[in-house]
Amino acid sequence: MEKLLEELEQADVGKVSANEPLAKYTTIKIGGPADILVQPKDIESIGKTIQIIKKHHANWRAIGRGSNLLVSDKGIEGVVIKLGNGLDHIETDGETVTAGGGVSIVKLSTMLSKQGLSGLEFASGIPGSIGGAVYMNAGAHGSDMSYILVKAHILFEDGTMEWLTVDEMEYSYRTSVLQKKRPGICLEAVLQLKAGKKEDITAVMQKNKDYRRETQPWNYPCAGSIFRNPLPEYAGQLVEKAGLKGHKIGGAQISEMHGNFIVNAGGATAKDVLDLIQYVQKTISEKYGVAMETEVEIIGR
């Protein structure tokens, strides 16, 4: 790891640090250290970083703004590439928008609303990045990324980069081709929006934000929705019906506001969260015969 660290530092790919705690890079504020954390300064630097990692036969993975993510207490082996400031470009051409994978989806939706561009209102309260939203087909309020994505610039596990059309992303509920079939990360995305009235767009966004504030635990560190909705059932309603709201293991607690959120109530570990997830799965299975699959991505040692 020392030689790999040294070469990454010398390559001037961006900020490079060793044994970096990942808790400060996740929205739930949990996570052990990455052996090496790289925060690339641009897309070219990502390609260079991957080449160096492959040369040293090291493991790697990428993260965005750290929402929808639970990192092991033991951290992550190898290199973690943090997509952020180096991938925060935004370009608009009429109703077409190109955004870097590190762009905050809340920031983008707000900016586009001021330009009178409609289509991203659903994302006004989603605390993630464009890259993460493309990866998991993020959605809310009856819409998701599949409605507006034209194509996405993807970095695959083998280090190659390619543009995939929305059809090639093979979208379904909170799922894309990038999660299992062709593992990769989104470096940038081209979105197709529609012109609309600024006041109408702003009103819808405010309504969505208000709904989130009234129903979700925004005042505690959390990772977002923990379980996929086992349609036609809803995960939060099942948890509430089972009397599990507020249930606590260690520092992890099922939110009093919404049954599909686990919050870090103070000093929670990844093990606390995992134990609570398993307790919910067991309880719901026994009571209702429903298998609860996680939506949050669980990674690390």
Which residues are designated catalytic? 174, 225, 295
Residues in the chain: 301
| Euclidean distance between CA atoms 146 and 267, whole angstroms | 37
Torsion of CA 197, 198, 204, 207, to 10 degrees: -150
Beta carbons within 10 angstroms of residue 81's beta carbon: 24
Report DSSP letters for 34-59, one per residue. EEEEEEESSHHHHHHHHHHHHHTT--
Which one-letter amino acid corresponds to residue 27? Answer: T
Q: Are 289 and 233 in contact (CB under 8 A)?
A: no
| Closest CA relative to residue 295, chosen from 149, 144, 75 | 144
Backbone phi and psi for residue 252, each to the nearest 5 degrees, phi listed first? -95, 135
Distances (CA, A) of 293 to 255, 256, 261: 18, 21, 14
Please report, for the chain, how many H helices and E strands are present, in that order. Answer: 7, 19
- Please tell me whether residue 212 adopts helix, strand or coil conformation: helix
Q: How far apart are CA 86 and CA 47, in angstroms?
A: 13
| 137 SS3 class | coil
Q: In one letter, which amino acid is 194?
A: K
Contact between 263 and 196 (Cβ < 8 Å)? no
Strand 248-249 to strand 252-254: parallel, antiparallel, or no bridges (unpaired)?
antiparallel
Query: Do the Cβ atoms of 301 and 274 come closer than 8 Å?
Result: no
